[in-house]
Amino acid sequence: MGECKETRKFCRALEAQGAATYPAVASEMSPLGWPDRFIGHRRWTGWVEFKAWAGRVSGEQETQLGRLRAASVPAYVVRFSEDWSQLRLEDPDGTVRSGWVRWGLFFDEVTELV
């Protein structure tokens, strides 16, 4: 399993809950470091950068996430657990904002941060 495959699976799970997702990964039109996905849902709307357990947020990604947040746009890092079964929310600087939760509880966790 890898980050891309698990991100696609996670986004399909969000879509099954009524979310709309837009992949901005490696788009020629996106600025360097722009987050992976836009997620729109009645409970939460914002940008997400997905990372594997040991994945590193680049300086460009931290800058873009910070710029979005400075403009009052919700933007977080979603980190997958080592076995890919859970996730947690982090700030762009790596500050952990939630405990490990199963994928289906994403909206419960992210709405707690608003």
Pairing of strands 86-90, 37-40: unpaired
The two structure tokens encoding residue 85: 């079964």
Global pTM value? 0.90
Write out the residue range of the structural domain in which residue 47 sits. 3-112
Question: 106 and 85 in contact (C-beta within 8 Å)?
Answer: no
CATH number at residue 9: 3.40.1350.10
Between CA 69 and CA 95, with CA 114 as vertex, the angle to 5 degrees is 60
H-only helix segments in 1-114 = 3-16, 59-70, 106-112
Percent of the chain with pLDDT over 90: 73
The two structure tokens encoding residue 15: 């879509």
Q: Give pLDDT tens digits for 25-71.
A: 766 777 889 999 999 999 999 999 999 999 999 999 999 999 999 99
The tally of domains found in the chain comes to 1
Question: 82 and 53 in contact (C-beta within 8 Å)?
Answer: yes
